Amino acid sequence: MIARWTTIDDLAESFESTSSYTYVLNNPIRLIDPDGRDTAVRHLQEVKIVDSKPKHTNVFPLILPRVFSPRPFPWPKVEAIPAPNPWLLLAGLLLSPMNYGHSGEKDREDQLLKLDAKWTGKTGGTNGNPGADIYEKPGGMDQADKDFDALNPSGVRPIPGGRVGTLPNGDKINVRDKSSPPKKWPTLEVQNPDGVSETKIRYDPNN
């Protein structure tokens, strides 16, 4: 007989002095374990065996254990998992952040541009526009061109003093060799698809 245990014994703490691998406290003659949880004393019955010879009627007591029928194991009912609704799956894919607003590209853009950058304030907004965040970063025009190229814009074309293109998420980006006073530093600017400036990074040419 091969014994297999699939769960923790519910009454294991009641027999701390006995190994969990010992069957019925190592006393299988007197004890039984009908349901695998606790020991029980065998119910014994006396059987009389009578000699077939009529002159010698000797009675020999024989102790036989009563046969127990094991209780059926209460297996849990496993119900079939219903198939997912394909329309709900389609709606989830269409409304996921990956396909709505290109939020992943926006996060990548922010991480790359704002690396080693110092926030210095915001520009004054108009007509409900909160204004653009202003950052300063070392490296001058060389670093501004590197950041522009790292974002892999499409449709790049030259403008006076720089270049302009479109980011994968639809934002517009431009880089130019100088910004408005008082600091006429090289500048990289990101605008939303409506042309509203969101981020400006000015690159210190002296650092």
Tens digit of each residue's pLDDT (9 = 90 or more) over 41-82: 776 666 566 665 555 555 555 555 555 555 566 667 777 777
pLDDT tens, residue by residue, 108-119: 666 777 777 888
Helices (H), 126-188: 140-150
Whether the per-residue pLDDT at 143 is higher than 70: the answer is: yes
Q: What is the pLDDT of residue 158?
A: 94
Res. 18 pLDDT band, cuts 50 70 90: confident
Q: What is the pLDDT of residue 100?
A: 44
Provide φ and ψ at 136, rounded to 5°: -120, 145
pLDDT tens, residue by residue, 84-139: 787 787 777 766 654 444 455 666 666 777 777 888 888 876 666 778 888 999 99
Distance of CA 82 to the CA centre of its chain: 23
Mean pLDDT of 142-159: 92
Nearest alpha-carbon partner for 113 in 196, 180, 174, 184: 174
Alpha-carbon distance of 193 to 169, in angstroms, equals: 9
Tokens of 51: 């000699």
Question: Residue 48 in 3-state DSSP?
Answer: strand
Whether the per-residue pLDDT at 83 is higher than 80: the answer is: no
- Does this model's pTM top 0.75? My answer is no
As to burial, measured by CB atoms within 10 angstroms (0-12 exposed, 13-18 middle, 19+ buried), residue 169 is middle
Res. 177 pLDDT band, cuts 50 70 90: very high
